[in-house]
Structure formats: structure tokens, C-alpha cells
Amino acid sequence: MDTLDDHAKDISEDAAAEAGPNSSLEMNLKEQDTGAGGPIILFFILGLFASLVVGWIVFPKLLYSKKKQPIEFNHVFHVEAVDNGCESCHFFREDGTFSGAPKLAQCIDCHEEIQGISPDEIKFVEEYVSKEREVPWLIYSRQPDCVFFSHAAHIQGARMDCVACHGHMGESESLKVYEENRITGYSRDIWGKSIGGFKKNTWDRMKMDDCAECHRENAANIERKNIQTPTQRLIGHMVNLVSPGTSTFDKGGSIQTERDPCFACHK
Amino acid sequence: MKIGRRGFLSFVIGGAAGTALSPLPWKLMDDSSIWTQMWPWTPVPEDGEASYVNSVCTLCPGHCGITVRKIDNRAVKIEGMKGHPVNNGGICLLGLSGLQLLYGPMRVKTPLKRTGKRGQGQWEKISWNDAVSEVVEKLRDIRSEGHPQTVGFISGFDRGTVSRLFERFLTAYGSPNFMRMPSVRDSYELAQYLMQGVQALPGFDFENSDFVLSFGSGLIDGWGSPVRMSRVHSAWQSAGVKVIQIEPRLSNTAAKSDKWIPINPGTEGALAMGLAHVIVKESLYDADFIENNVEGFFDWKNLVIDKYSPDTVASITGIDSRTIVVLARGFANASKPLAVCGRGNGTTPVNIDECMAVHALNALVGNIHKKGGVWAVSEPDYINWPEIEMDAKAAAGMQHERLDGAGSKTYPFTRYLLPRLPETIDPGEKNPLQALFVSGANPLYTHPDTQAVRNAFDKIPLVVSFSSYMDETAQNADLILPNHIYLERYEEVPTPAGMIEPVIGLSRPVVEPQFNTRHVGDVILQMAKGLGGSVAKTFPWDSYDSCLKETLGDLWNYLIDKGFWSNTGAMPPFFGTSYETASGKFELINKDNGSIPQFKPVSIEGDEKDYPLLLIPYDSMRLACGFIGDPPFVMKTVEDSILKGKDVFVELNPKTARNQGLREGQRVVLTTPKGKAEVKVHLFEGIMPGLVALPRGLGHTGWDEYLAGKGINFNTLIGPVEDPDSGLDAAWGIRAKLEKA
């Protein structure tokens, strides 16, 4: 064993001696690497930092355009003036459908003529009421056409409060700036003000995850308890693939998809 | 500091890590998926208040009740009206697609005046006042020259206030030339007049009959009131009613019948006589009915026995004599048998002999004015207007004979003979037609030999179209005064085709007029006021709507409330009072005018040597072939074996194809004595050898890009053949040949 070890040592020593003339170059290289270790990490941090700034701060500024509503509106003032709270203007029709943003027909009861001195009211009466043009309100809560949402089921059936999804809109004295997603055309309020998708209140976001969240939390009392977004579904499948039977998603009413029927909420 | 490769790479890696930790990729992914699922250019239906308006569909003579769903001010869906006597909630493909006729690109949006040559498509927009005064000026000139009879009016319908206004206008002006578009109603009206002495609508109690013998009527291919017929057909299936279809081609109706009997085209009348022969010979007729209610039976019996034995009829029709005997027995032994004629969807007349022969079959089995039989339905009598004031010019004008020869010595009992009009239009100095108005009709598309009709129209100095759509007649007019479409106007709609109970529906504005159009009734009133004098006095109403309201009286409120009025308990007229003939009976042989049900073959155009094949048309629910063309939704349903791209297929029996050396899909030139067209071959076992079948409803030049230029218009390949007894167009086909293209 000794002889073998010694032999190996000899060989390596020989090799080092043979490489003599080049050793300084090797040293230089090593020195350079050690010296540049700082900048490389710096570059990494720079890249990380820059992209985080772009992703969290620049991107949302680029993604959304800011639009003003065609005319100003004071909810507080109007809620005080009407008898029936929100439902005075945002009412259910006889057939159970929800009227959404009021049409001229509702405003005209009071605003057939100019009532006050507010320049926005004057503009409203002159530009819209007298010309019989509907106000092109920008709707913060407008959902894509494929979404089927019944206000009646939630407000009249489940006795939910408007605030749960729409926040304290009725307490606003002016209309906030409408931030329109340049790609989809929908309001920023759907994804939520937080670009990271974080929410503090139930009304901060209006995505399908938020529907699902509320439906999960209240699963004991409601019918559609198994709403799953495609992402949740994908994760569930992957978990099932790795260790079958551990995924916790329940089976819904549909035999094909094992979920609640898609068409309950999707047109 | 120099940025090296490694520095750059670590910057990129840092960037990638940071990007992954930022919402950017995830948000973009979400947004792009929303964007791709909601393409911004995909129209999204407006959200708003839903409401329903009850009205009547007038796209065909079926006159179904409709309920239109609206969201705010936009009509979004047409449904059948529940509880309506015609369709009870059902609707056809065309009726369902009516919204495309409202919002589609084929609309004429404002009055137009031709600037280029006729048919060139060069128009200028003019105001309603200018348009109407231009027409009034021309009419005033014609009248002051003493030729008021040279003004004609072609209308799709002749019942209801709007049509009556047209007629009233012409009478007060001094012209007898009001013409209705031809259909099988012409034949039935005449047959009923000759045999029963009444001017009435033919009504068929299909709902209650138990044996239906159809001489080529496309009972579920658009005949009569299509939705009613579909409902009836379903009821027949469940009740086990026997349906026998006699026609040379396996139509949908034939395919769904109990028995399809192919027959040599044009010999249907002979078969009816053959059946009568068996019924008479074997004494299977309703002896009671014959004895009490029929005149001329014995003379006719002799004729039938002499000339129409099963063997003779077999040789004419190509149907085995045994089949004829069995069929006659089946028909006569059924408790409520009903025979009906009118080929295809019934938009073309049949010759009067054939219609009378079929009608005589019904009389033989005694089912005239009986449950499950044929009725002469009288019109609800609600239009009671003051007498027409006629000045001397009008009276003189009305003395002239009609241009189409209807009511003349040759054709004394026929009411309208529009197909005869083109030949009477003379290019000479004294053109008998100086001005022509067209409403609810598209003669330049629907008339046989369209080229000849167009040439005739070109000789008329003023052609005015009231069409709401840029159809072929509008394209070749001098002025288009667009009417509101049926979803934008008031109009009462009397009894639908083939119904036995009188119905009045109210068509009403579902939406505000979308364009600068005007109700044709109002235009007529304006024209009358413009002409002044006695013509103006004849029209004491301010507007069409007030005229309608006044005319309907109490009925107006009822119609507004309910949408339609019907006499559901309508009883057939009592025997004895229901025949207004000289004998007071159903006359098999009318001694006054010598009309006898018999078989006279119609000699169609072309000789067998040059044209070895026979071209016949066929109709389908998917191809509107009247004054309305297919809207895009309906065009989408036309099968690839009928129309592929712009090519139409002719149906050919494989045997015929083999003889002609043709194969499936081959491009051929179809030639008739009237014209030629390039078509493709479709082999079909369901058509008799020696025949070529071409669908009607294609080959438009007007309307929109979804319809124009697709296929061939059957009417360009056929000409009218005059029935010598009635003057009606009796052509059922034309000789033809096929050559490889």
C-alpha cells in the first residue's frame, strides 16, 4: 500500500514541477476570480433588484391606464337624499335581474332640470339628460361576458351585504380614478389594487379565487362549495399523481369534471 | 467597471429570479388568457332590462305569432308566441333569424334615387319629401294626360289594410292594375269559385284528418304555414295518420310520409282522375253527400269511367295500376281523408284542371266543410271604409281591362295573372305601363324567366320599390322608398295560409325604426294627399296608424292586449248556404262556364331531342325562395350537398348520370330553352331517372354578400307556361340537358 501511495505522490510532484513555468498564470487567474466574486453577486443583486422594481412598481404603472369618469358623482349625498338606500338606484328588476349602474331613466326623476350649482350636475343635465344620452359610466366591477353572476342569489338569497364585494362604495364622496387594464380592458378592481394579489378585505379583489374562497369558508351553508380555479385543479392533480389519494379536493356534482358544473358561473 | 460575460449572466439570472418573484409573469399570464378568451372584437350582448313584445311574423304567408325578447331597446331573440293558434310557441328557422333582417347589412337605410343606369347600383340619397313629390309629379302627369290605367301595383299580399290601401289608391287614381304575387292560392281560389261559387281562402283541417294524400305538396318543406304544418306532422306521427306523398323526388315530406309514390312529373292530375275512377267504379264515394250536395256527378262519372281507367292512368303517371287501385280504396275508406295539391312550398300555382281534380276527390269522399276536410274560409269582415270617390278620370281609367288579362273574356274568373304582365309591356310609344309600384314582392327574382321580366321592367319609365331590403327588384328600380320592416311597424295580418279558423294578428313595432324608413301606408296617404282632389278625399286619415286604429275599432284594444284575435270555435259553413253556385250545390260540372275536373297535360318548353332531361325545382325549409332571401344564419344551414362555396348541385339519379357519363361532384353546364348555368352533379337515388332537380332560393344578385352570387336562380332557367283555361302559370318544369363543363 505504501509503495503505491508514494508512487502516486511522486507522480503528482513531478507533474507540478513540469508545470512550473505556467503556475504564475494560474495564480493570476485565481486572483482575478476571487477579486470579481463581489461584482458577480452585485450583478445578481442588481438584476434581482431591478426586476423586482420593474415587476412590483413599473409594471403596474404601465399595465393600467387612468381614466376619469364622464361626470363626478357623490354617493354620500345621494344616499342621504333617497329613501331606500343603495336599492333606490341599484335595484332588482321584477324578473329578479339586477339593474347595476343606474340608467338615465332612474336619474331623470330628480334631474329633469338642473337642481343645484354643481358644475357636474349642470354637465349631466345638459350633455346627457336633455340629449337623452346614457352616461357611459366606467364600471369598476365589470366582469368578462363569460361570467354569470346572479345578484339575486347573493343579495336576496344569501342575504349578503353589497359591501362584501363592492366595499364602501356607498360612502364615497367622489368617484375614484378608473384604472383600465390595457390588455384586458377590465378595471384594476377585479385583480385588486395590490399587484401581488394580496387582500385584506373581502372586497379588495373580484377574481374567481375570491368567489371560491368565500364559497369554501361558507361551505356548510351554501350549495356551490367546490369552486376550483384551474390552478387549484392543476395542483390537486399533481399532488394526486405524486401520492394518490392525498389530494383533498372534494368531488362536485358533475360526473365529467368532478366539479360543480362550470356553467353555473360560466356562460 | 467592465461588465464581463459572467457579470452579465449573473445580472440576467438575478433579473430572472426577481421577475419570478414579482407579479409580472403571473399577472401577464392571467391577463393574456382573459384577453384571448374575450377578444375585444367579439361582440358582447348588452346587459339591461329584459322585456317581451308580442307581434306577428310576416316573412311568409304562415303568419306565426312571435314574442320578441328585448334587452333595453335592442331586440335580441325572436321566439314563437305561446298560445297562438298557428304556431303555439313554435318558430321556424327563417322566423328565428328575423333579427338579421332588422340589423343586417341588406337594409335600405334611406330613400334612394337612381343616378346611373338601371341596375348599375348607383344611387343618391334623397329626402322623403323630395322622393314622394317626385312620384306625385309623375303620377299627376300621367293622370292629366288621361292614362291613369297605365299605373300598376305589384303586392305580395292582397288582404289587410295595407294591401287594401294600395288597391284603393289605384281605384281612386283610375287604374285596375293591382296585382298579387302568384301562388297555389290562385289555383285553389279559382277551383273553389268554379266548383262552390265562393271567393274564399282554402282552409285545410289537417289536424283532424286521418288520411292525407298530398299531390307533391311539401307539407313539411314550407307549404302553407310551416310551423303549423310541422306541429300537425308530429301529431300525425303519434296518431298514426296515414300520409301518402306523390311526387317525382324524395323530398323531406316524402321521406317522412308513410308511403312515397314517385310519379311522372306533371301528371298528378291524371292520378287524381284515376283515383276518382276507382272510387266511382267501386261505389266507394260518400253517397249521401253526392246526392244532397253535388251537382253534375253522373255526367262526370261517365267521363271518369270512360277515360281514366287504372291502366290508362298507369301509362300516363308511371304508377302501377294495382297501386292506384289500393291507394283509391285506402283514401275512400278512411273516415276523414283529405287530398291536397300545390307543388313544393306552394309559391307557384298548379293548372286549374289538376287543382279541380284533386278538389273533386275531396268532394267524392264528402269532406267539404267537414271536420278533417277542406273548407272555404271566409275573411273576417272588418274593413268598412267609406265609398271611393271617383272623378271622371278615375272612372274612365277603371273602364280599361287589366293589363295581365285577369277578368277578361279569356280568363273571366282568374283574379290576378302577374306572370302574363311582361309580355304585355310594349316598348312602343304607347307603353301600357308608365309607372309600376312594387311592395312586399320581388318579381325580378321570383318570376319565371327573370331575364324577360327584367327586359320588360326596363321599358317601364318609372319603377318604384317599397322594399326594406336591397333585393333584385329594388336594385333595378328608379326610386326606393324603404318601408319599415315587420319588426318596426304596425299592421294587422289576416288569416294565415291554409288555416280553417279566421285569425287576425297584429304586427307591431318591436323596436323603433332603425333607419330613415317610412311605413308604406303613410307613403300612400302622402301620395294621395299630394295628388289632391278626389284621390285625396278618398283617404280621410292622417296617418296609417290612425287608419288602422279606426278600421279595427274595438278590435284594436283587443289586439294590443292579446296580440291576435281568432275565432277558435269557427264552424264550417252550413250545407246549402255554403255553395253559391247556380244549383246551390258543389258543382263537379259547372254548366255556366263549362269547367270539368279532368286531366290536360301541360306541355312544357323544349323538345325531347335537344333536351333529353327534365328539370324540376325543389323547395327546402332552409332556402327562402319568396320575396325574402335567406339571412346569414339560415344560409349557414344549407347542406354541402346543395351548395358548396358558390356552386349549387343538381340532383341526378345515378342511372341518369351513368347514361350521361357523369359522376358525383362533376362540374356541368345545365341548359334549358331559357338559359344556361354552370352547376355540379350530386347523385341521389331519391330522384326519378331522367330528371334533374335544382333547389329554389339561390342565385340572388341583391341582398348581402352572404347570399348574393351563391348558386343559380331556378327562375332564370324556366319560363311560364300558360294554362289555357285559367291563364295561370302551370309550368312544373322545363326540358334540359347537361354537358360536361
DSSP letters along chain A, please?
Answer: -HHHHHHHHHHHHHHHHHTGGGHHHHHHHHHHHHHHHHHHHHHHHHHHHHHHHIIIIIHHHHHEEEE--SS---HHHHHHHSSSGGGGTS-B-TTS-B--SPPHHHHHHHHTS--SS-HHHHHIIIIIITTT----PPPTTPPPTTB---HIIIIIIS---THHHH-SGGG-SSPPPEEEETTT--BHHHH-SSTT---SSGGG--SHHHHHHHHHHTTTT-S------HHHHHHHHHHHHHSTT---PPP-S-TTTSSS-GGGTB-
Q: Among residues of chain B, what percentage have pLDDT more than 70? A: 98
B406 within domain boundaries: no
Read off the pLDDT of residues B459-488 as tens digits, 9 standing for 90 and up: 899 999 999 999 999 999 999 999 999 999
* Distance (Å) from the alpha carbon of A43 to chain B's nearest alpha carbon: 5
The pLDDT, as a whole number, for residue A31 is 44
- Among chain B residues, the shortest Cα distance to A101 is held by B48
Q: What is the pLDDT averaged over residues B564-584?
A: 71
Cα atoms in the Cβ-side hemisphere of radius 13 Å centred on B117: 3
B87 within domain boundaries: no
Read off the pLDDT of residues A130-169 as tens digits, 9 standing for 90 and up: 998 999 999 999 998 888 889 999 999 889 999 999 999 9
Residue type, B579: Y
- The residues facing B590 across adjacent strands are B595
Q: Hey, are the CB atoms on B24 and A59 less than 8 Å from each other?
A: yes
Q: Hey, are the CB atoms on A39 and B32 less than 8 Å from each other?
A: no
* Residues of chain A neighbouring B44 (CB-CB closer than 8 A): 145
Using pLDDT thresholds of 50, 70 and 90, give the confidence band for residue A26: very low
The pLDDT, as a whole number, for residue B91 is 95
Where residue B671 sits, what CATH number does that domain have?
2.40.40.20
Q: Which one-letter DSSP state was computed for residue B207? A: G
**Domain final residue pick, B372, B397, B423:** B372
Burial pattern B420-456, b for ≥16 Cβ within 10 A else e, equals: bbbeebeeeeeebbbbbbbbbbbbbbbbbbbebbbeb
Q: How many domains is chain B built from?
A: 3
Q: Is the dihedral of CA A117, A121, A125, A127 positive or negative?
A: positive
Q: Hey, are the CB atoms on A47 and B3 less than 8 Å from each other?
A: no
- Among chain A residues, the shortest Cα distance to B4 is held by A40
B401 within domain boundaries: no
Candidates B598, B603, B695, B589; CA nearest to B308 is B598
Candidates A108, A211, A109, A93; CA nearest to A160 is A211
Using pLDDT thresholds of 50, 70 and 90, give the confidence band for residue A233: confident
- The residues facing B740 across adjacent strands are B668
Q: Does B41 touch chain A (CB under 8 A)?
A: no
In angstroms, rounded to a whole number, what is the distance separating the alpha carbons of residues B91 and A65? 47
Enclosing domain of residue B674: 613-740
Read off the pLDDT of residues B206-243 as tens digits, 9 standing for 90 and up: 999 999 999 999 999 999 889 999 999 999 999 999 99
The pLDDT, as a whole number, for residue B577 is 55
What is the three-class DSSP state of B565?
Answer: strand
- Among chain A residues, the shortest Cα distance to B29 is held by A183
Candidates B450, B434, B445, B469; CA nearest to B112 is B469
Read off the pLDDT of residues A73-87 as tens digits, 9 standing for 90 and up: 999 999 998 888 888
B121 within domain boundaries: no
Using pLDDT thresholds of 50, 70 and 90, give the confidence band for residue B641: very high
**Domain final residue pick, B310, B338, B372:** B372
Q: Of B8, B19, B22, B36, which to mutate for an interface test with A (greatest number of A Cβ within 10 Å)?
A: B22
Beta strands in B123-258 (DSSP E): 123-125, 151-155, 178-180, 201-204, 211-217, 242-246
* Distance (Å) from the alpha carbon of B72 to chain A's nearest alpha carbon: 10
Q: Hey, are the CB atoms on B14 and A99 less than 8 Å from each other?
A: no
pLDDT over 80 at A252, yes or no = no
Q: Among residues of chain A, what percentage have pLDDT more than 70? A: 79
Q: Hey, are the CB atoms on B14 and A46 less than 8 Å from each other?
A: yes
B484 within domain boundaries: no
| B2 compared with B61, residue with greater pLDDT | B61
Average pLDDT, chain B: 92
B605 within domain boundaries: no
In angstroms, rounded to a whole number, what is the distance separating the alpha carbons of residues A223 and B506? 45
* Residues of chain A neighbouring B46 (CB-CB closer than 8 A): none
Using pLDDT thresholds of 50, 70 and 90, give the confidence band for residue B530: very high
Option in A63, A145, A197 nearest B44 (CB): A145
Using pLDDT thresholds of 50, 70 and 90, give the confidence band for residue A7: low
Q: Hey, are the CB atoms on B11 and A44 less than 8 Å from each other?
A: yes
In angstroms, rounded to a whole number, what is the distance separating the alpha carbons of residues B222 and B60? 9
The pLDDT, as a whole number, for residue B110 is 96
Q: Hey, are the CB atoms on B15 and A47 less than 8 Å from each other?
A: yes
Q: Hey, are the CB atoms on A191 and B30 less than 8 Å from each other?
A: yes
B282 within domain boundaries: yes
Backbone phi, then psi, for A83, in 5-degree steps?
Answer: -90, -30
Read off the pLDDT of residues B383-426 as tens digits, 9 standing for 90 and up: 999 999 889 999 999 999 998 888 888 888 889 988 888 888 86
Q: What is the pLDDT averaged over residues B657-683?
A: 95
* Distance (Å) from the alpha carbon of B14 to chain A's nearest alpha carbon: 4
- Among chain B residues, the shortest Cα distance to A93 is held by B49
CA distances from A23 to A8, A9, B542 (A): 21, 19, 115
What is the three-class DSSP state of B690?
Answer: coil
* Residues of chain B neighbouring A185 (CB-CB closer than 8 A): 38, 40
The pLDDT, as a whole number, for residue A154 is 92
In angstroms, rounded to a whole number, what is the distance separating the alpha carbons of residues A193 and A205? 8
The pLDDT, as a whole number, for residue B579 is 83
Q: Which one-letter DSSP state was computed for residue B502? A: -
Q: Hey, are the CB atoms on A97 and B49 less than 8 Å from each other?
A: yes
* Distance (Å) from the alpha carbon of A164 to chain B's nearest alpha carbon: 23
Q: Of A44, A146, A149, A207, which to mutate for an interface test with B (greatest number of B Cβ within 10 Å)?
A: A44
The pLDDT, as a whole number, for residue B570 is 61
Q: Does B52 touch chain A (CB under 8 A)?
A: no
* Residues of chain A neighbouring B32 (CB-CB closer than 8 A): 183
Q: Of A32, A90, A184, A207, which to mutate for an interface test with B (greatest number of B Cβ within 10 Å)?
A: A184
* Residues of chain A neighbouring B21 (CB-CB closer than 8 A): 48, 52, 55
Beta strands in B613-730 (DSSP E): 613-618, 643-644, 647-652, 667-672, 675-683, 691-695
CB atoms within 10 A of CB B711: 25
**Domain final residue pick, B340, B372, B404:** B372
* Distance (Å) from the alpha carbon of B31 to chain A's nearest alpha carbon: 6
Q: Hey, are the CB atoms on A63 and B31 less than 8 Å from each other?
A: yes
- Among chain A residues, the shortest Cα distance to B12 is held by A47
Q: Hey, are the CB atoms on A47 and B45 less than 8 Å from each other?
A: no
Using pLDDT thresholds of 50, 70 and 90, give the confidence band for residue A200: very high
pLDDT over 80 at B445, yes or no = yes
Q: Hey, are the CB atoms on B14 and A183 less than 8 Å from each other?
A: no
* Distance (Å) from the alpha carbon of B16 to chain A's nearest alpha carbon: 7
Range picked from B118-122, B357-361, B371-375, B593-597 for highest mean pLDDT: B357-361
In angstroms, rounded to a whole number, what is the distance separating the alpha carbons of residues B370 and B639? 41
Q: Hey, are the CB atoms on A97 and B19 less than 8 Å from each other?
A: no
Q: Hey, are the CB atoms on B22 and A43 less than 8 Å from each other?
A: no
Q: Among residues of chain B, what percentage have pLDDT more than 90? A: 76
- The residues facing A178 across adjacent strands are A67
ipTM beyond cut 0.90: no
CA A169 to chain centre: 19
Number of H helices, E strands in chain B: 26, 28
* Residues of chain A neighbouring B73 (CB-CB closer than 8 A): none
**Contact (Cβ atoms closer than 8 angstroms) between residue A172 and residue B19:** no
B670 within domain boundaries: yes
- What does the block give as the cell for A42? 452585485
* Distance (Å) from the alpha carbon of B543 to chain A's nearest alpha carbon: 27
Where residue B285 sits, what CATH number does that domain have?
3.40.228.10
Residue type, A27: M
CA A31 to chain centre: 50
Q: Does B239 touch chain A (CB under 8 A)?
A: no
The pLDDT, as a whole number, for residue B429 is 61
